[in-house]
């Protein structure tokens, strides 16, 4: 009996939590679960390669994440970062915990020894029984940059500066996925998407976690060619982002910050988009009709991932939607 292949496309915080629900759902089925993760947040910081979304997903699956903050390690301390600040490094805007630094140092050493980010991520993940394979969407460096107005002058800053130092509270004109065209989806990520029995789009930020992945050549093609159904989970409930700043991000690019707006932004796979199905919350059930008009089969269930039980139930509902009778068999 061939193992069921389930692939999740995920950003950071919401992605890690959703990935845990999917892992729990298939725990007793020995499924081949692969999580393809956004790398647009990644940056060289204090000489170390920091990969926020890869770490959020890895730590969440390992059960060692700081579930309050949504990033970094539980039981963290910040002695090293205090020393860095004492030496006058302009690093205090981005908190690097001592345990978290262990990850960045190990990853940076691996990368400097010539491993790819995919290989380095496997090496780091092996420390825990994650129950899933964590894969960066690309091995290339494709930072998400943000065009802003700083002190009245236009500037292009790294996403993390925009997100953490400025809390997205400065005039913002757009997001740039620099060098995306020169990059390519990693072979492991392409295979994970193409030969999946089901592809799930986690309730991550559509603009700064999912869109950066779609900008990588080969990602849209892999989704379009996937043998499995593609089911997404809305990251917005009743017009409000579940967490993070999806509303600010949607406003920057003119996407309505609603379950319907994000679903139509992703688009129906039968029309060149990425979705076959879309999970919306019960308060957004009125979006089901308009989404069907757009070729997307939607279903409304409670989307709040309050705890492991509700997250597992959400994953189960998404998987169930994948077996819907097609509205029209998409031409592939
Ligand atoms: N987010 C913050 O709001 N403040 C921080 O100081 C911060 C530090 C940090 C360090 C490592 C890491 O992997 C993530 C960190 N984050 C921090 C979260 C990060 O900005 C977000 O997880 C994602 O980049 C947003 O998707």
- Dist. CA 7 → ligand 1 center (Å): 24
Q: Is 72 in the pocket of ligand 1 (CB under 6 A)?
A: yes
- Dist. CA 5 → ligand 1 center (Å): 30
Question: What pLDDT is recorded for position 178?
Answer: 84
* Ligand 1, atom 1: closest residue by C-alpha: 164
Question: What pLDDT is recorded for position 181?
Answer: 93
Round to whole Å and give the CA distance between 208 and 22. Answer: 22
Name the pairing type of β-strands 297-300 and 277-280. Answer: parallel
Contact 76, 248 (CB under 8 A): no
Q: Which residues of 247-260 are buried (b: 16+ CB within 10 A; e: fewer)?
A: bbbbebeebebbbb
* Ligand 1, atom 12: closest residue by C-alpha: 52
Token pair belonging to 153: 């002058």
The packing angle between helices 79-86 and 98-112, to 10°, is 80
Round to whole Å and give the CA distance between 160 and 182. Answer: 22
User: CB neighbours (10 Å) of residue 291?
Assistant: 22
Report all structural domains of the chain as residue ranges with CATH numbers, in order of start.
5-140+185-321 (3.40.50.10680), 144-177 (no CATH)
- Dist. CA 228 → ligand 1 center (Å): 32
Q: Per residue of the chain (332 residues), what is the pLDDT tens digit?
A: 788 999 999 998 889 999 999 999 999 998 999 999 999 999 999 999 999 999 999 999 999 999 889 899 999 999 999 999 999 999 999 999 999 999 999 999 999 999 999 999 999 999 999 999 999 999 999 999 999 999 999 999 999 999 999 999 999 999 999 889 999 999 999 999 999 999 999 999 999 999 999 999 999 999 999 999 999 999 999 988 777 789 999 999 999 999 999 999 999 999 999 999 999 999 999 999 999 999 999 999 999 998 999 999 999 999 999 987 655 555 54
Question: What pLDDT is recorded for position 81?
Answer: 96
Q: Is 41 in the pocket of ligand 1 (CB under 6 A)?
A: yes
Distance of CA 49 to the CA centre of its chain: 18
Question: What pLDDT is recorded for position 224?
Answer: 97
**What DSSP state is assigned to residue 180?**
G
Q: Is 55 in the pocket of ligand 1 (CB under 6 A)?
A: yes
Contact 90, 160 (CB under 8 A): no
Q: Is 14 in the pocket of ligand 1 (CB under 6 A)?
A: no
Round to whole Å and give the CA distance between 129 and 61. Answer: 8
Bridge partner residues of 233 (DSSP): 279
Question: What pLDDT is recorded for position 65?
Answer: 97
Q: Closest ligand 1 atom, CA of 50?
A: 13
Tell me which residue of 70, 37, 10, 6 sits closest to 316, measured CA to CA: 6
**What DSSP state is assigned to residue 209?**
I
* Ligand 1, atom 25: closest residue by C-alpha: 12
* Whole-structure pTM value: 0.96
Round to whole Å and give the CA distance between 324 and 278. Answer: 11
Question: What pLDDT is recorded for position 243?
Answer: 72
Give SS3 for 153.
Answer: strand
* Ligand 1, atom 2: closest residue by C-alpha: 164
Greatest pairwise CA separation for the chain in angstroms: 63
- Dist. CA 50 → ligand 1 center (Å): 10
Q: Is 95 in the pocket of ligand 1 (CB under 6 A)?
A: yes
């Amino acid at each position: 009996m061939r193992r069921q292949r389930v692939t999740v496309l995920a950003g950071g915080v919401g992605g890690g939590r959703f990935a845990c629900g999917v892992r729990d759902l298939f725990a007793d089925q020995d499924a081949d679960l692969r999580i393809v993760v956004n790398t647009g947040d990644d940056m060289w910081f204090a000489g170390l390669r920091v990969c926020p979304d890869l770490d959020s997903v890895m730590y969440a699956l390992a059960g060692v994440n700081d579930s309050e903050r949504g990033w970094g390690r539980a039981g963290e301390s910040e002695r090293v970062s205090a020393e860095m600040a004492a030496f006058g490094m302009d690093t205090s805007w981005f908190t690097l915990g001592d345990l978290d630094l262990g990850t960045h140092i190990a990853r940076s050493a691996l990368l400097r020894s010539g491993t790819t980010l995919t290989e380095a991520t496997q090496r780091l993940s092996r420390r825990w029984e994650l129950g899933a394979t964590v894969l960066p969407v690309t091995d290339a460096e494709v930072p998400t940059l943000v065009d802003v107005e700083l002190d009245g002058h236009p500037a292009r800053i790294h996403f993390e500066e925009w997100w953490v130092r400025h809390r997205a509270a400065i005039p913002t004109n757009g997001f740039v996925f620099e060098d995306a065209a020169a990059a390519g989806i990693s072979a492991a990520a392409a295979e994970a998407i193409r030969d999946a029995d089901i592809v799930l789009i986690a309730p991550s930020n559509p603009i700064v976690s999912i869109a950066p992945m779609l900008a990588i050549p080969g990602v849209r093609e892999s989704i379009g060619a996937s043998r499995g159904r593609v089911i997404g989970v809305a990251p917005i409930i009743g017009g409000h982002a579940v967490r993070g700043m999806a509303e600010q991000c949607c406003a920057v690019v003119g996407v309505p910050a609603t379950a319907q707006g994000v679903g139509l932004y992703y688009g129906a796979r039968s029309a060149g988009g990425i979705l076959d199905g879309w999970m919306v919350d019960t308060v957004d059930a009125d979006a089901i009709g308009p989404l069907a008009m757009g070729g997307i089969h939607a279903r409304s269930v409670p989307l709040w991932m309050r705890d492991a039980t509700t997250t597992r139930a959400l994953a189960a509902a998404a998987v169930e939607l994948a077996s819907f009778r097609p509205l029209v068999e998409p031409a592939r």
